[in-house]
Amino acid sequence: MKILLINKFHYLKGGSEKVYFSTKDVLEKNGHQVVFFSMNDKRNVPCEQDKYFVSNVDFTSRRQWFSKSLRYLYYPEAARRLEQLIKKEKPDIAHLHNISHQLSPAILKPLKKYGIPVVQTLHDYQLICPNYHLYTHGEPCERCKKRKYYNAVLNNCVRCSRPMSALAAIELYFQWFFGFYRKNVDAFVSPSLFLKKTLEKWGVKEKITVLNNFIELEKFEPNFIPGDYAICVSRLSLEKGIMTLLRAFRKLPDKKLVLVGDGPWKSEVEDYIRRKQLKNVEYVGAKYNQELLDLIRNARFSIVPSEWHENYPMVALESLALGKPVLSSELGGLPEIVKPGVTGWQFAARDIKGLRLKIKDAWNDPELEKMGKNGRAFVEKNNNEEKYYSGLMEIYESVFPENKTTNLG
């Protein structure tokens, strides 16, 4: 089978890209051919299809956000380029990941035109929330439920900007009115049960199948011996709870934290560490590949202090695969991974004192090594490659018509 994988970023930017590339690996291992469609970027992993990729745009730039606002909503050029790729490669099925803005729902048109079944893995709340996080102004939010997207404007939910929030609200009204996803995606894949239930509660009636993210276990050699530091690997942004974590460690001078990551709050994080003279916090910036795995492998435990409803974060799975228990907030899909007393510990999100006490308890927990082994066993059972591949094939097969025909000529 030839599978067309589509994602707006074709480099290892975050957790969704890890799933995107790992899916490519497992498909190829099982004899399938994979082709790609994405956006051009100097950081991209080279591939034969990159000549069809769309031009680069940076929507973190306010200037480009407004100058490219039509592309933000619907990008016909992406549809034209994808159609060229479809005619050349003639894929059997398309598997979408994140396509919003840089690619836009315009790419669904040629897929429908040529009768290509479409599956989409959901990595956030893009179908129901203008800022994709169900989170605003420092706490989880459900104001836009029942398509009340105008609340994003009233509350400046997107980068604290009313114009940006208005554009994001228009995007969801636009998608709902024209039914881009409802009419053109044959099956949705949800990595967590929490995301599936949330989407259904908010009125998404399309077929959603839970298929947990997986770990390529051969790449993760565990180390069950507790190290002398805790580690947090995260995007540096408000919803990730990084400032809560730093404030907790401020009064734990004898406990060391290694902070890994990059993001819009980088300067605030560095400034706080400097102003408060947090000598027990080592911020090392973004790390990748073996260097990152070694940092996690040699830690005592991993911390995921998220203040939004995480879906099914890869960093938690990777920590467990490396033999490190996880201390996390109790939001979103995290409880599906972090089992208190078994694979880690939990605390109430945004509770600085509660997090500080949990760090103390976790640091001295006599079951640290045992929980590390439990964590590795958990991902071996629930997040292995074979289970993911089997589930993915069932989803693919469910969207093929009995007598598949295409218009490819």
Going along 11-165, which residue ranges are E strands?
33-37, 93-96, 118-121, 135-136, 139-140
Cβ neighbours for 183, distance < 8 A, ≥ 6 positions apart = 112
Same domain, 273 and 305: yes
Q: Residues 267, 334: one domain?
A: yes
Element containing residue 300 per DSSP (H, E): none
Instruction: For residue 231, list its beta bridge partners.
Output: 258, 302
Number of residues written out for the chain: 409
Position 406 pLDDT exceeds 50: no
Give the DSSP per-residue string, 232-276.
EE---SGGGTHHHHHHHHHT-TTS-EEEE--STTHHHHHHHHHHT
Query: Cα dist. 105→58, 77, 89, 269, 353 in Å?
Result: 18, 11, 21, 35, 44
Task: Report yes or no on 24 lying in a domain.
Answer: yes
Measure CA of the first residue to CA of the last residue in the chain; give whole Å: 18
In a domain, 272, yes or no: yes
State yes or no: pLDDT of 409 exceeds 70.
no
Give the span between the Cα atoms of 176 and 193, in whole angstroms. Answer: 23
Helix axes 385-399, 15-29, angle to 10 degrees: 80
Return the pLDDT at 62. Answer: 67
Domain shared by 202 and 94, yes or no: yes
Return the DSSP state at 217.
G
Mean pLDDT of all residues in 51-72: 80
- Residue 403: pLDDT band with limits 50, 70, 90: very low
Alpha-carbon gap, residue 294 to 292, rounded angstroms: 5
Do 60 and 199 belong together in one domain?
A: yes
Residue 405 has pLDDT above 60, yes or no: no
Asked if residue 61 has pLDDT above 90, the reply is no
Segment 330-365, tens digit of pLDDT? 999 999 999 999 999 999 999 999 999 999 999 999
Which residues contact residue 299 at a Cβ distance below 8 angstroms, ignoring those fewer than 6 apart? 227, 229, 230, 231, 258, 324
Under 8 Å between Cβ of 3 and 32: yes
Domain for residue 408, yes or no? no
b/e 75-99 (16+ beta carbons within 10 angstroms → b): beebbebbbebbeebebbbbbbbbb
By residue range, what is the domain housing residue 50? 2-214+385-399
Residue 409 in any domain: the answer is no
pLDDT digits (tens, 9 = 90+) for 153-211: 999 998 888 988 999 999 999 999 999 999 999 999 999 999 999 999 999 988 999 99
Q: Considering only CA atoms, which of 244, 253, 300 is closest in space to residue 278?
A: 253
CATH number at residue 234: 3.40.50.2000
Does 404 fall in a domain?
no
Question: 69 and 119, same structural domain?
Answer: yes
Q: Find out whether 254 and 279 touch, Cβ atoms under 8 Å.
A: no
In angstroms, the Cα distances linking 40 to 12, 69, 92, 95, 262 are 14, 19, 24, 19, 21
Helical ranges in 90-133 per DSSP H:
108-113
Q: Are residues 320 and 394 in the same domain?
A: no
State whether residue 376 is helix, strand or coil. Answer: helix
Confidence at residue 70, expressed as pLDDT on a 0 to 100 scale: 82
Asked if residue 218 lies in contact with residue 319, where contact means CB atoms within 8 angstroms, the answer is no
The pLDDT value given to residue 65: 61
Q: Worst-scoring range by mean pLDDT, 58-62, 132-136, 332-336?
A: 58-62
For residue 38, tell me if it sits in a domain.
yes
Q: What is the mean pLDDT of residues 245-267?
A: 97
196 plus 248 within the same structural domain: no
Give the pLDDT of residue 66.
64
Residues 365 and 393 in one domain: no
- pLDDT of res. 58: 83
Same domain assignment for residues 126 and 223: no
22 and 128 both lie in a single domain? yes
Number of domains in the chain: 2
Mean pLDDT of all residues belonging to the chain? 94
- Three-state DSSP state, 94: strand
Please check whether residue 251 lies inside any domain of the structure. yes
Are both 119 and 249 inside the same structural domain? no
Which residues are registered as beta bridge partners of 209?
189
Residue that the structure tokens 């049960």 belong to: 193
| Beta strand spans in 252-364 (E) | 257-260, 281-283, 301-304, 326-329, 344-347
Residues 92, 193 share a domain: yes
pTM over 0.85: yes
Determine how many CB atoms are found less than 10 A away from the CB of residue 271. 11
> Does the residue 406 lie in any domain?
no
Mean pLDDT over residues 303-321, rounded? 97
